[in-house]
Structure 1
């Protein structure tokens, strides 16, 4: 868990995204994948 958090912090610092925005991007990407899977 410690390693994952360190990696996540490194990724966020590289992309310069605030955590809430990063989560929004992940959620949007997840929803897009789900939508494409169902074919809607």
Structure 2
């Protein structure tokens, strides 16, 4: 399917995206979100 370099780039991109999303979720849940209302402190 892919050659070695392309697969390495895709793996790196996937890892980077996963870390970015994880950090984004962490930052989102750390701050009080008005949309979540009472459930903001649950998580």
Q: TM-score range, shorter-chain basis?
A: 0.5 to 0.7
The answer to which structure has the higher helix fraction is 1
Q: Give yes or no for the alignment of 1:20 onto 2:5.
A: yes
Runs of at least 5 residues in structure 1 that lack an aligned partner in the other structure: 1-15
Which ranges of 4 or more aligned residues in structure 1 deviate by more than 6 Å? Answer: none
Report the aligned-residue RMSD.
Answer: 1.4
Higher RCO (CA < 8 A, seq sep 6+):
2
The alignment's TM-score, normalised by the length of structure 2, stands at 0.53
Structure with bigger gyration radius: 2
The alignment's TM-score, normalised by the length of structure 1, stands at 0.57
Runs of at least 5 residues in structure 2 that lack an aligned partner in the other structure: 28-43
